[in-house]
Structure 1
Amino acid sequence: DVLVTGPGRGPKELNADDVKTKDRIATFGGLRMLVNGPIAYMQSEKKLSAFNRSRYLELSKRRNSLRQQHETIKKQLGKVNKEAPEAKQLQENLRHIEAELGELSTKLRDCYLWTVECEYPYSMILAGDVVFAGGENKVAAFSTKDGKESWSAAVSGQAHGLSVMNGSLYVSTDKGHIHCFRNGVRGKSRLVSPRINTKPYPQDKLTRLYAEAARHIVRQTEHRKGYCLVLDSGEGRLAYELARITDLQIIGVEKDANKVAAARKALDKAGLYGQVVIHQGSVAKLPYTKYFANLIVSDEALLTGKLPSWREEVFELVRPYGGVIALGVPANKQNESGLKKWGRVFIPGWKVAKHGKIIWGLARRRKLEGAGEWTHLYGEPGNTACSNDALIKGKMAIQWFGLPGPRQMIDRHHRNVSPLFKDGRIFVPGDCIIFAVDAYNGTILWETEIPHSRRLGVFLDCGSMAVDEKFLYVAAEDKCHGFDVQTGRRRLTYTMPQLIKDGARLWGYTAYSGDILFGSGCRKGASYTETSYEADIALWHRNMKLVTSDYLFAMNKNNGKTLWKYRDGLVVNATITVAGGRMYFIETHSPKALADMVGRMPVKQLFDGGENELVALDMQTGRVVYKKKIDVSNFEEPVYLNYAKKILLLSGSKLVGNSIRYHFYAFDARSGEDCWTIGHDSGLPTDGGHGEYNRHPTIIDDTIYAWPYAYNLKTGEKVQGWRFERRGHGCGGVSASAQCMFWRGANPWMYDLGPGGGAFRINSVTRPGCWINIIPAGGLVLIPESSSGCTCGFALQTSVAYIPIETLNSREQRTDNLTSDF
């Protein structure tokens, strides 16, 4: 009934909490704890202790109760006359409590059985009456009776892993070594290295068959990373050949126990077991999640011509956006006819062709119908923060979890650019590094470092990344680089035009539409790039500083030619919007803003005097379509611009008395004419410490979701009965699919807007980032790790993907979802 957690990134402490009440019982200075009955062993950086935990926790509960009583009485004393009889009684009660607290302190100290010096802070286990602890280049054993060191020995590196088995202690270190210690062994220790058998299978007539089949599969499918499922995997020979020439994680399924054992033994001898695993089971009942397999093949079919019987079950496992089924059979007419029939009914586009002595059937899966994408900071360059994914709805199940983890991520408080999704890949931004991850199984396809690409505080700025079917575009200094989405290799580099003589500008805004790449010119140091406590504080509370651009430009994506340039007033980066054949933004001619030499400033300075305009440019030519003077008197904090269904929505906030009021102005995007305006009290705390002043609207179809209300996009009419609740502490933005909204309320939450829907917590163990990093796209809910730097009590820092349970339980239409490579 007690949960011990810690330590976090702060003090090296362990916290003991009551599981039922969630009350804090006690706090210990330490790194880890072992429990054996009533006794606990605690390891700190320089000490090892044993104490009676049952007695300690009992006394701690009493101490906590007395401390609460003490605080209550002190408050009561402050409200009564000190000379009154009531005050004297309260003071007497305080003395009794303080005396008992003093006695409890002594009793708590007496709970410790022993404490010894211990320079072994990296690991600890208990075996019998011995506590083993790992340190720097050494490991030691301590008696549980008195804490005395029984023996110590040298190891190579930091001893992070300890295990006891069959009378031996095994120690693993950060240098990749495993040491074994056993009592009674004499002489020098010996070094044991794994023996790799490069030919674990007989060199027979099948050797060439499997090798050539593997090479043909790889050439035809081009899959060298991800997950491969080998059906009826036999003794693992096809899996072995694929593992030799690819980085695929390979799962073999075989029902024959003897063949499973033989396969595991051979693959282990080859040093490949791990990259390849063999599961015993039937193809009729495959226990895997939908869409996980980049490649599905069959060993049995290749050897005997016998095809898998369960076609539908196999089909469900193929990854969308390029997953491949490739089945080979020995070449003869009967097998050819059977192979054609196998795929013809269930796999549209299934084609069969002969290669050497093998006839191959192969099909590549296309995108999921109804799936959405997330190609820009707010989903698309119109800034709706909605993917329009129609597949995401209802309760969720885990699709995968794992890397990337927190190590190379930006501290969440700095609010990095959002991840992007396109064609089955999710692109995860870290600290000057990008990870391309298979959205359906979590495989890291590639990673690339991009110096000077760090972009923080994006809610006060604009996106610096975008992705299309060929390239990932990332701005860095005065350039935008194009990385091949399949390989991560840099293929393109665009250099921005320089229009101002008094100093070179850096590439700010990054977006595209069709063949046009858009950018803006920002002062050096305007965008947020620093990571520090001071830089963190600058992104919160009131008077946050918005980043501006001095000019805009457009380039041809194909040849890098500059198509047009625009320069007039200062452009507010957070309002740049591309949609409907135009680029829209808010421009200021405030003298104070124009005189600024930094390139970022509070809204009060940005809009102080001068004209402020809503501007529309022709996307193709840069021609000014219109400039409309706007009222900015209701804006004192970040402003945003969204586009949906030919409506532009301008929004922002202002502190009025003790209320944060949000104001919304809708314009006809074609003409700039006013459509409607509305404002409301947000009901949020006024300190601004958790994003209260920067709620970015989310638009789904005809509805604007703007904390805490919803409005009709066309009319501005409030949606009756709707009131948004975060259901927990959170400051991030809200992302959406066609039917659901996603946000951080301590943990990831979602709201299903469909019949029978509502709000529910996706999980209770992870923490999303402080802006947008829950991406609903590709039929999945993708949450790359973005809690780095969080010191709160959340169990896991991991990337995780979810799939709707409805999707898992459904059978899909087979129309036009696979295509042949032949």
Structure 2
Amino acid sequence: MKEILHSGAPTAGWCVDLGCGDGALACALAEQTSLTICAVDPDRSNVDTARRRLREAGLLGTRVTVHHTPLDGRHLPPRFADLVVSGRSVTEGADVVTRDAVTRLLHPFVGKAWVGQAGAMPTITAPDLSGAGQWTHQYADAANTNCSADTLLHGPLGALWFKDFGFTMPNRHGRGPAPLFTQGRLIVEGRDALRCVDAYNGRVLWEYALPGILAANDQDHIMGVSGTGSNVCVDQSRVYIRRPHDCLCLDLETGVLLRAIPAPPPTPGAEPGTWGFLACVNNTLFGTLADTAHTVEFRYIRGDMSSQFTESRMVFAVDSETGREKWRYTPKHSVRNNTIAIGNGRLYCIDRAQAPFDRLDPDYKELRGQRDVRPFPPGVLVALDTSTGREIWRNDEAIWGTLLALSTEHNVLVMTYQNTSFKLRSELGGRMAAFNTTTGKRTWDIEASYKSRPMLTGKTIYAQPGAWDLVTGKTKPFAFSRAYGCGTVSACKTMLLFRSGTLGFVDLTGNYGTENYGGFRPGCWINAIPAGGLVLIPDATDRCRCSYLIKASLALMPYGVRAPRLHPATAAVSGPLDITVDTEADADQARYTLDGSDPTEEAALYEKPVRVTTTSTLKVRTFRHGAPPSAVAIGTFVIDPAIVPIDGDNWAVHDAPGRSNTSRWEIANGTATETSNFYIGEAKDRDWRTERPGTYRVYTPGEVCKDGELTVELSSSDNDGLGIVLRWQAPDRYLLWAMDAERSFHILAMKDGKTYEILDVAEVGYKANQWYRLKATLRGNAVAVTIDGKEDVSATDVKLPEGTFGFYSWGSTGAKFRGAAWRPANK
């Protein structure tokens, strides 16, 4: 033991004694250090002896636990141990345990091991964690990519550690700063302190008291860092935290205060200004002096907005070592904090007049009925040299955006709006552009529907719900949906993270769709970050009354076996169907059932396609040696002679005229999905009487749908309009049934040339991501619609006698339709 400690072994943290023998080494380490020790031995007599020794020393169960398990250590989590030793190796030699077993357990940044006999005990360090990304700023980096370089993450996910820190966090509706990660350390800012946690085992490393530092975020205003930017960032060795008039520099390893850097005075000889934006790149701190007169409207319940500063009157740079001011830039108008992006030796920002209609109206009491969203004068895009502040170029041609993100890899600067939930009125959305960072010239400018901040990785821009080519602006074949979550999306190269009721994620390494890790509620902006090969999620539910079971901080890691893939995943067809099953690895076994029960190792072994001849539910699970079984893959297959094929050439798309872009219908797994957010009209209009032309996917061949029953299932991940058209004769002659969640209506309407008439209405909405079964019964002049077997709307004076049917979407990104069946009345 002396040799281990004299060699520089850690004396605090987690230790594994892999092959503990009689427990003597574990006992001695516990007595002379602050280590928490997991002792392991496959020999029952050794385990009993070790437990007896530790119990007599008063250490068993408090400082040391003894596990009767194999020496491969696979019952323990990977990468969590600060120290690995082996009591038996001291007497039996280093071959008692394998190097792979040791390195699997070692913390990738600080872990060390000493295994072997005295005098022959070399230091073993963890292998480099190649592919582990960092998250050093609010949006991953100073470039605002909102995407870490991590390539280690993939699904499925499982818990590495969880812990209730008893650390007071601000109200999640106050949108506090994102957690940060660097060098194996997780930085979490609470209401009254900054805390550093070991990202791989949850151990608190240090805490720095900052009374009231996030008091302004401890409210219900839903502004916070979404408008102000974060007040904390990190580099490889220091943590910077902005206060109103200065910035503290803390040592990353110890939490010791190194220096306080005052904000520059707005004019020579004046008092320090109010520090706004914060970033650190290459030993330079970048900041702004906030415009304290520009106080924006609260976006939710009324809150104190007096320190929620979203605009700045000056941009500056200071030396992070000395605090010496290097340069300052004074815009003609104002710089919105969200438009500052830094990388490749340049700082980019937009100098633009403020939006006066964003400002706080002291007489305004509620969010609904707010003043109209409107454009405001464009600005100037400016590129500054980060060393000198010298202006390199400027572009004043149609600079309409409110957010910038930079790809340093491809020298592309992306301009968008921050079109998210509870946005400022000036965040118009619907447009995206890019500029060449060398020349400042615009390379593309497109209409684009998105509801999150952009995420830049490689040559792809992700933004809910789609993806675009970074270089060309062209739409990429990608879409994802989520349940409700007012926060934005964070990303790494292999995964998207977001709130989807609970934690939702999209694994970009394959086509798995939206997955969930349930049981807890992430915060209302960026609460989960992908970095270090982990998903790191500090608890954001402090004082939250939402009924979620888990109220703790979590670290998730890739864990387990992926569920098998069914082809097709689901279907509604008119005749027998063969379903094939794919597993992740050739050695995996897939076992299935058709009786509704979950498959066990005794269930039928998949060896050839499964044929279903009647409506069936197929459940399949993967089994792999040495791993827990996968989740169950479930496919519902409807066999019905009346089913209309959802794909093929028998469908035509009609987009209402008036927009430059077109709709985007995608067909997969027996489901038609509209992903473009296509609509004509005003989104702010809530009147159910208003005609809302959209996009229509119409069934063209076969018999005329005159009298009979149409059944179809429909769902949307959005909250706007979707429905069906009946007796369609032309783009201006049809019946329309539609539902809208945001405006709370179901309608039955008739379009006849220039006439649009509401025949019936029900003032109800729908729930996002819930499937509804619609049945429309047509008999002469009478039409009746039921939803899930309950009466919805009807009419008895319909003037259109016949026509075909189709699907309808109005601004409903993720509107889905499946299982359409037509049953003529005479059959």
For 1:265, what is the secondary structure of its paired residue?
helix
Measured in 2, the distance between the counterparts of 1:663 and 1:577 equals 19
Q: Counterparts of 1:166-565 in structure 2 under 5 Å?
A: 210=1, 212-213=2-3, 215-217=5-7, 220-221=8-9, 223-273=10-60, 274-284=62-72, 286-305=74-93, 307-330=95-118, 358-365=119-126, 367-404=128-165, 407-454=167-214, 456=217, 457-500=224-267, 504-523=272-291, 534-535=302-303, 547-565=310-328
For 2:122, what is the secondary structure of its paired residue?
strand
State the AA in 2 paired with 1:578. I
Measured in 1, the distance between the counterparts of 2:498 and 2:445 equals 26
For 2:413, what is the secondary structure of its paired residue?
strand
Aligned 8 A contact 1:452 1:476 in 2: no
Partner of 1:772: 526
Residue 296 (structure 1) shift = 0.3
Deviations 1:632-688 (A, max 9, x none): 66x6xxx2111112111111168999x974211211122221111112455xxxxxx
2:434 aligned with 1:646: no
Partner of 1:74: none
For 2:303, what is the secondary structure of its paired residue?
helix
Deviations 1:420-445 (A, max 9, x none): 11111111121132221111122122
Aligned 8 A contact 2:20 2:87 in 1: yes
Measured in 1, the distance between the counterparts of 2:440 and 2:560 equals 43
Measured in 2, the distance between the counterparts of 1:707 and 1:326 equals 48
For 1:677, what is the secondary structure of its paired residue?
strand
Deviations 1:265-319 (A, max 9, x none): 3433433331211112331454112212111012122345454232222221111
State the AA in 2 paired with 1:364. T
Aligned 8 A contact 1:214 1:238 in 2: no
Aligned partner (choices 668, 677, 695) of residue 436 of structure 2: 668
Partner of 1:105: none
Deviations 1:71-116 (A, max 9, x none): xxxxxxxxxxxxxxxxxxxxxxxxxxxxxxxxxxxxxxxxxxxxxx
Aligned 8 A contact 2:467 2:476 in 1: yes
Aligned partner (choices 723, 745, 748) of residue 479 of structure 2: 723
State the AA in 2 paired with 1:426. L
Residue 754 (structure 1) shift = 2.5
TM-score by length of 1: 0.60
State the AA in 1 paired with 2:525. W
Measured in 2, the distance between the counterparts of 1:524 and 1:460 equals 14
Aligned 8 A contact 2:417 2:431 in 1: yes
Partner of 1:745: 500
Partner of 2:811: none
Deviations 1:302-361 (A, max 9, x none): 34545423222222111111211122513xxxxxxxxxxxxxxxxxxxxxxxxxxx3431
* CA pair 729-656 structure 1, distance change in 2 beyond 3 A: closer
Partner of 1:83: none
Aligned 8 A contact 1:593 1:608 in 2: no
Measured in 2, the distance between the counterparts of 1:225 and 1:446 equals 13
State the AA in 1 paired with 2:387. Q
Partner of 1:631: 398
Partner of 1:792: 546
* CA pair 462-740 structure 1, distance change in 2 beyond 3 A: same
Measured in 1, the distance between the counterparts of 2:387 and 2:327 equals 8
Residue 446 (structure 1) shift = 1.7
Aligned 8 A contact 1:588 1:607 in 2: no
Aligned partner (choices 344, 349, 352) of residue 585 of structure 1: 349
State the AA in 1 paired with 2:336. V
Measured in 2, the distance between the counterparts of 1:605 and 1:629 equals 23
Deviations 1:543-596 (A, max 9, x none): x98611221211222333221122233211111110121011112246969999
Residue 378 (structure 1) shift = 0.5
Aligned 8 A contact 1:320 1:367 in 2: yes
Q: Which runs of 5+ in 1 are unaligned?
A: 1-209, 331-357, 683-691, 811-822
Measured in 1, the distance between the counterparts of 2:343 and 2:126 equals 31
Measured in 1, the distance between the counterparts of 2:185 and 2:275 equals 25
Higher helix share: 1
Count how many residue pairs are aligned between Structure 1 and Structure 2.
541
State the AA in 2 paired with 1:783. I
Residue 715 (structure 1) shift = 0.9
For 1:413, what is the secondary structure of its paired residue?
helix
* CA pair 441-731 structure 1, distance change in 2 beyond 3 A: same
Aligned 8 A contact 1:225 1:445 in 2: no
Aligned 8 A contact 1:433 1:449 in 2: yes
For 1:459, what is the secondary structure of its paired residue?
helix
* CA pair 591-666 structure 1, distance change in 2 beyond 3 A: closer
Q: Which runs of 5+ in 2 are unaligned?
A: 218-223, 363-369, 563-583, 586-827
Aligned 8 A contact 1:549 1:573 in 2: yes
* CA pair 245-489 structure 1, distance change in 2 beyond 3 A: farther
Measured in 2, the distance between the counterparts of 1:213 and 1:647 equals 54
State the AA in 1 paired with 2:447. G
Partner of 2:786: none
* CA pair 603-629 structure 1, distance change in 2 beyond 3 A: farther
Measured in 2, the distance between the counterparts of 1:576 and 1:591 equals 17
State the AA in 1 paired with 2:239. L
Measured in 1, the distance between the counterparts of 2:276 and 2:59 equals 47
What RMSD over aligned residues (CA atoms) do the two structures have, in Å? 3.6
* CA pair 238-506 structure 1, distance change in 2 beyond 3 A: farther
Measured in 1, the distance between the counterparts of 2:252 and 2:299 equals 28
State the AA in 2 paired with 1:425. R
* CA pair 619-660 structure 1, distance change in 2 beyond 3 A: closer
For 1:535, what is the secondary structure of its paired residue?
coil
* CA pair 807-506 structure 1, distance change in 2 beyond 3 A: farther
Partner of 1:677: 445
Q: Which has the larger radius of gyration?
A: 1
Residue 744 (structure 1) shift = 0.6
Aligned 8 A contact 1:782 1:802 in 2: yes
* CA pair 594-418 structure 1, distance change in 2 beyond 3 A: closer
Measured in 1, the distance between the counterparts of 2:164 and 2:20 equals 28
State the AA in 2 paired with 1:560. G
Which 4+ runs in 1 deviate beyond 6 A? 525-532, 591-598, 602-607, 653-657, 806-810
Measured in 1, the distance between the counterparts of 2:318 and 2:19 equals 53
Aligned 8 A contact 1:546 1:572 in 2: no
* CA pair 435-590 structure 1, distance change in 2 beyond 3 A: closer
For 1:283, what is the secondary structure of its paired residue?
coil
TM-score by length of 2: 0.60
Q: Counterparts of 1:38-187 in structure 2 under 5 Å?
A: none
Partner of 1:27: none
State the AA in 2 paired with 1:398. A
Measured in 2, the distance between the counterparts of 1:255 and 1:546 equals 60
Aligned 8 A contact 2:431 2:449 in 1: no
Residue 529 (structure 1) shift = 14
Measured in 1, the distance between the counterparts of 2:91 and 2:256 equals 38
Residue 746 (structure 1) shift = 0.7
Aligned partner (choices 564, 567, 570) of residue 334 of structure 2: 570
Residue 452 (structure 1) shift = 4.9
Partner of 2:565: none
